[in-house]
């Protein structure tokens, strides 16, 4: 998947797991891909460091 605009604020990004579809929406609303990805990696997400993916949530990455 990819990083997509959030439902509640289209200026912020949401990360989607390529395996299960789980969404990662950081508590700090990130409008910059690199900040969202750094936060997600800190929470256990894995994958390519590009918005186009692939990305896996911590459950699927385990």
Domain residue spans of the chain = 3-61
Strand, coil or helix: what is 1? Answer: coil
Q: What pLDDT, on a 0 to 100 scale, did the predictor assign at position 14?
A: 85
Tens digits of pLDDT across the chain (62 residues): 566 555 556 677 889 999 999 998 877 767 788 889 999 999 999 999 998 889 999 999 98
For 6, which DSSP code?
Answer: -
Calculate the alpha carbon distances from 17 to 9, 25, 41 in Å: 20, 11, 12
Q: Which of 1, 2, 25, 22 is nearest to 12 (CA)?
A: 25
Q: What pLDDT, on a 0 to 100 scale, did the predictor assign at position 5?
A: 57
């Amino acid at each position: 998947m990819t990083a997509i605009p959030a439902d509640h604020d289209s200026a912020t990004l949401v990360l989607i797991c390529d395996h299960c579809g789980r969404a990662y929406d950081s508590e700090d609303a990130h409008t910059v891909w690199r900040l969202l990805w750094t936060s997600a990696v800190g929470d256990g997400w894995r994958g390519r460091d590009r918005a186009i993916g692939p990305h896996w949530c911590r459950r699927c990455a385990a």
